[in-house]
Structure 1
Amino acid sequence: MAIVLAQPCTPVPLPRRILPTRPGGCAVEYGSDPRLLKQARRWAWTASRLPRDQADPVVSIVDELFSNSLRHTASGLSHGTTWLEIAPYADRIYIAVTDRGTPPGCPSGEPRLLTADDDGVPSGFGLHLVDRLAVAWGWFGGSQCHTVWAEVVRPATGQKTLCVAEARRLTQARGRRKENL
C-alpha cells in the first residue's frame, strides 16, 4: 500500500482595506485567487450592515460581479486585484466592483446583458441576476479598469428582502433609472 502525502495548502490571502469613494462606505482590495469569493461574500454581508436574512441581494451581486472580474478581466491574472465597495444609505445600498481592465492581447469589452440570440455562449447570463436584483446598475471605465455598480433597496427594519417588483416600483417613484454612465 502506497502512502500519498498531501500537497501543502497555500493560505488564502487576506483582503486589504482601501479608502472608499462614497461617504460612509467600506472598501477592500482582493487578489486574484478564486478562493477569495467566500471571503468577499462574508465581507459583503458585514459591510451591508443588514441582518443575514436581508443581505442576499447584496451578497449575490457582489459574488457575481467579483466572479466576473476574475473570469473576464486582468484582475484574474496572477497579481491581479479587484476593489469592492459597499456604501449603505438610509434607503438603498450602493455596490461597486472595480477590476483591472482588459487582459493584454484581448479585445476590449464592456459588461452587457446577453440574450438568447447570443449563440455559442456557454455562460454569461449572470448580469441578468444583477439586473433582476438591483433597482439600478451600470458601469464606467475603459481598458485600464471597469467599475460595475449596482444599487439595491434597503429593506425596512424587520422586513424580509423586498421583491424586485416592489423595489423597482419604489425606485421609479424616486426617479432613479438604469443607465450607463
Structure 2
Amino acid sequence: MSFTRPPLDLPRRIRCTDPEQGSLECGHQLWHLKAARSWASHVARATPACADPLLVSLSELHTNALKHSASGLPGGRVRIEIERRRRLFLLRVTDDGPRPGQEVTVPEARPVPWERGEDGLLVEGGYGLALVDAMALYWDFTRESGGGLMVRAAFDRSGRTRMAA
C-alpha cells in the first residue's frame, strides 16, 4: 500500500515564534494574491494609509513571482514574510526559482516609458519593480540555496515613501 501526501491547503499561515513577524505560503492560483493582501493588511496592524505602500509592493512582487518564475506553475509556491520593527515594515517575497528550461533572471527596476495604447490609456505591464522602487525606502534581492529568489524591501511604518521623502 502506497501513501501519498494530500496537497496542503494554500494559502496557509506559517507559525512564527516572534509576535512581530508573520509568514504566509501561497500557491500558483491568482486568487491567492487577494488572500495575501488581506493577510498582510491584518499582519501590518496599521491604518490603510500607512500600510498602502507595503500592500501595493507585496501585490507587485507576488505577481512578478507568479509571472516570471516556477511559482506560477501548478504546484508552485510563493512565501511572503512581514516583520514589524519600531519604524519599519520589512517585506520578503520568495519564489521557486526559474521555470524549467529558462535562465535565471535578475530583478531590475527600469524607468517606465509611460507608453499609451491606441485607446489613449497607459499600456499595462512593466510597472511592478518601478512601483516598489518608488515606495520602498530600500529593496534588494538574494538567490536562495534552492534556486529561489528572495526580494526584500523596507517601508516606513508611517506610510511615507522614498519618492515623497
TM-score (norm 1): 0.73
Aligned residues: 147
Listed as ranges, the gaps of 5+ residues in structure 1 are 1-12, 156-160, 168-181
Q: Does 1:137 align with 2:139?
A: yes
Equivalent position of 2:76 in the other structure: 80
C-alpha separation in 2, matches of 1:58 and 1:124:
19
Distance 1:141 1:20 in 2: 23
Structure 2 gaps, min length 5: 1-8, 114-123
Q: TM-score, normalising length from structure 2?
A: 0.80
Greater Rg by CA: 1
Match of 2:31 in 1: 35
In structure 2, the residue matched to 1:154 is 157
Distance in 1 between the 2:35 and 2:112 partners? 33
CA RMSD of aligned residues (A): 2.4
Does 20-29 or 103-112 show the bigger shift? 20-29
SS of 1:32's equivalent? coil
Amino acid at match of 2:59: D
What are the equivalent positions in structure 2 for 1:163-178 lying under 5 Å apart? 163-165=161-163, 167=165
Runs of 4+ in 1 over 3 A off after TM superposition: 19-23, 163-167
Q: Percent identity?
A: 34
- AA in 2 matched with 1:57: P
Is the Cα contact below 8 Å between 1:74 and 1:80 reproduced in 2?
yes
Task: State the distance in 2 between where 1:52 and 1:123 align.
Answer: 25
Instruction: Using the TM superposition, give the Cα deviation of residue 90 of structure 1 relative to its aligned residue in structure 2, in angstroms.
Output: 0.6
Aligned to 2:20: 24
